[in-house]
Amino acid sequence: MSRYTPHADTTALLETVEQWRDTCLIDDGSIFGDETLWTADNLAILDRAFIQNPQEGSESYAEKLKIQLADAPPTATRLMAELNWVLLLFPANIKPETKRQQVLEIWELGGTPLSADHPALTDEVLCGAGHAGTAFNTHRWRELAYLINIAKAMKEQPRDGRRHVLSDPWVFARWLAEVPREGFRQLRHMLNWLLFPDTFENFTTGRDKRAIVQHFEELPAARVRNMSLEEIDHRLFELRQRLEEEAGQPFAFHESPWKERWQPSQKVWLLAWNPQKWPWDEFRDDRLRVAKGESVTKRWSTASGQVGEGDTAYIMRLGAEPRGLIAQGNIASAPYQAEHWDPERAKQGEKTQFVDITLTDLRDPDSDDILQLDRLETEINSDQKWTPQQSGIEIKPAVAKQVGTLWGKLRKPSTADAEPDSPQQEAITIQRATNAIYYGPPGTGKTYYLQKNLMPYYESRSEDMSEDEWLVEQMAGTPWWEAVALALADLGGEATVNELIENRFFQAKARIQGQIGNPNLRSTCWNSLQTHAVQESETVKVSIEGRRSPLIFDKNANGRWFFTGDWDEAGADLRQKLQTLRAGPGVDSLLSHLIQRDSPIPEPFSIQWFHHKTLNRNEESGYLVELSGTAVGLLPQG
């Protein structure tokens, strides 16, 4: 049954929703008291005060609401509190205490007390049923406006008409679809489930519903896209009945092993390398770095324009024996145009298409296990082409799974297997054993130890590297979408494309790719923004199939991009990285942040043995200070 939620007991929640339906939607009462609140008159007042009176500015949702309700009568204000209560019932990613405080804060504007212990405000009622996504909070005012319109439309019906609409799930869904709304509102899915949990799935996007129907009913994507939401819900209802009968128990489509069956997987690509045509001069250096766990990102040609950020890729060595797969990695950029990899053709002004690939496994055919071509051709029974004429062809999903299994059985490369043959390789192979890692909250002595024992010996090496060089080093391996997100965050979270491509972080990424001054940088930026735009965007026209996680961008009517969707969650690491980038190459600014009394010390803080690439052990050996995984300074040995 679709009311099944594996991570929460929603019994109290759904019982309270039934009470709200009878008391407030069918009748005109209140969920928190005995007065009459859910009336057409009060809703009309809120329409004028809230929907017709939007507030611009940087104030919070609650602050804007307080301004809008300043002249509203107390009963309308208390109704607003109950509307927000309804709005917060479904999301499980908002804590009950947060929901309770928000409702109480609005209720208090109405001039009468409300106990936090009210039965409709318990943790059991406010537990939530599903993930609403951060876009729900970002656009909560739109969802609230939609809820007010729903309540107004319901009150236009006589009581018998309300009972009729609210007694049948399909009548209600059809009625709800006719209520005016702005864009794709998640509340539509939420209300269907809250009022009829045995009929509708507890998803908040039509995208997931369509993906499930398409997979389990094996339908063409175009046909599923043309189905109405009502038809999708009907098919899901019938599908669940069939699958639960086969499984013999309730289940959730978003839980394993069901989720893996319908959720679209990222593609896997075959990139080609012929050492006779393109010498990989730094191959052994790169191999050692990858084996040490460092991030190595390479530009690679691709014939396909369908390669997407986050996809998996293998590199096939051709033209020399042994032939086979020598590398695995993740695609770090959308395809872009640049000078041809062949110097002679580049001189003629030719360009070709590239992607960035961040290598996670790189193997030397002369010393490491590789997945040789004859194994692929004999152990994988398919018509997959393993020796393509052009780099960048898709590996079929079933074949990709077999390749992944075979790759996982190969012996891991080791830095001990090869003798360094250059100063660079010797530097890479030097052991960086951890000597000390300091954990703990403020006040446990880490800062004191740093100031007393380490700072007197500190010698900054930042003067050996310009800020631009340091920034390029820090941005190495960063996918284009992350570079765009860092630029947008650096610009305050709202900017035009022109402002983004002029930002120093975006420019550093362009410098890494050798694209400074490239006229295609603007389209590169556009591609990253649109590919990672939220599904409910009303200004981005890229197809749903063309978008990839994380979905964090949207654009307003004035052409300015901003963060939304999953940014709060997906952007946590990037916000931390932004602090490091803003601090710059010198250790001083980061250490000053470290010793601030008003902020917690970032974790982990560590000291590791370090050897400088010049291999002058007397002058350049020492201890590397790392803060949350980022090198911030060098302390001399001793």
Mean pLDDT of 551-578: 87
Please report which helix (H) or strand (E) contains residue 151, including its range: helix 140-155
Residue 115 to residues 4, 12, 37, 104, 108, Cα–Cα distance (Å): 31, 18, 18, 8, 10
Which range is most confident: 232-236, 280-284, 538-542, 557-561? Answer: 232-236
* Residue 448, CB-side half-sphere exposure with 13 Å CA sphere: 6
Quick one: pLDDT at residue 635? 45
Between 224 and 76, residue with greater pLDDT: 76
Least confident span in 38-47, 98-107, 456-465: 456-465
Q: Minimal CA–CA distance to 213: which of 242, 187, 193, 191? A: 242
Higher pLDDT, 570 or 28: 28
Residue 420: per-residue pLDDT: 53
**What does the alpha-carbon distance between residue 195 and residue 412 come to, in Å, rounded to a whole number?**
54
Q: What percent of the chain has pLDDT over 90?
A: 40
Which residue carries 């690491």 as its tokens? Answer: 573
Whether the per-residue pLDDT at 168 is higher than 80: the answer is: yes
d(CA 154, CA 411): 66
pLDDT in tens, 292-346: 766 677 889 999 888 877 688 999 999 999 999 999 988 877 788 888 888 888 8
Confidence of residue 616 (pLDDT cuts 50, 70, 90): very low
Cα(16)–Cα(127) distance, rounded to whole angstroms? 12
Residue 1: what pLDDT?
A: 66
> 540 falls in which pLDDT band (50, 70, 90)?
confident
| pLDDT value for 187 | 93
Work out the pLDDT band at 603, boundaries 50, 70, 90: very low
Q: What is the pLDDT of residue 119?
A: 97
Tokens of 471: 């920034």
Bigger pLDDT: 453 or 131? 131
Q: Output the pLDDT for position 249.
A: 86
Q: What is the pLDDT of residue 619?
A: 38
Does a cis peptide bond (omega within 30 degrees of 0) precede residue 600? no
CB 518 within 8 A of CB 610: no
What average pLDDT score do residues 347-364 get? 88
pLDDT at 138 over 50: yes
Distance between CA atoms of 638 and 636, rounded to whole angstroms?
6
Nearest alpha carbon to residue 567 among 476, 484, 477, 507:
484
- Of the pLDDT bands very low, low, confident and very high (cuts 50, 70, 90), residue 289 is confident
Exposure string over 52-87, b if 16+ CB within 10 A, otherwise e? eeeeeeeeeeeebbbebbeebeebbbbbbbbbbbbb
Going by pLDDT thresholds of 50, 70 and 90, the confidence category of residue 433 is very low
pLDDT at position 23: 97
With bands split at pLDDT 50, 70 and 90, how would you rate the model's confidence at 374?
very high
Average pLDDT for 583-612: 45
Is the entire prediction scored with pTM above 0.75? no
Question: For the chain, what is the mean pLDDT?
Answer: 80
> 69: which residues sit within 8 A by CB, 6+ positions away?
49, 50, 76, 77, 80, 106, 109
Per-residue model confidence as pLDDT tens digits over 402-417: 888 898 888 888 665 4
Tell me the per-residue pLDDT of 415-426, one tens digit each, with 9 for 90 and over. 654 445 554 444
Give the model's confidence band at 549: pLDDT under 50 very low, under 70 low, under 90 confident, else very high: confident
Which helix (DSSP H) or strand (DSSP E) does residue 509 occupy?
Answer: helix 504-512
- For the chain, percent of residues with pLDDT exceeding 70: 78
Q: Which residue has the higher pLDDT, 596 or 313?
A: 313
The predicted structure's pLDDT at residue 237: 95
Tokens of 154: 């319901």
Does residue 432 surpass a pLDDT of 70? no
478-487 mean pLDDT: 89
Collapse the DSSP code of 368 into the 3-class scheme (helix H, G, I; strand E, B; otherwise coil) and give the result.
coil
Q: What pLDDT sits at residue 589? A: 41
- As its CATH architecture, domain 268-416 has Roll (3.10)
Residue 435 pLDDT: 36
Give the pLDDT mean for 465-489.
82
Residues forming CATH 3.10.590.10 domain(s) in the chain: 268-416
Side chain identity, residue 559: G
- More confident site: 295 or 194: 194
- Higher confidence at residue 210 or residue 627? 210
Residue 260 confidence class, pLDDT cut points 50, 70, 90? low
Give the pLDDT confidence score for residue 610 in this predicted structure.
41
| CB of 509 closer than 8 Å to CB of 478 | yes
pLDDT of residue 515: 67
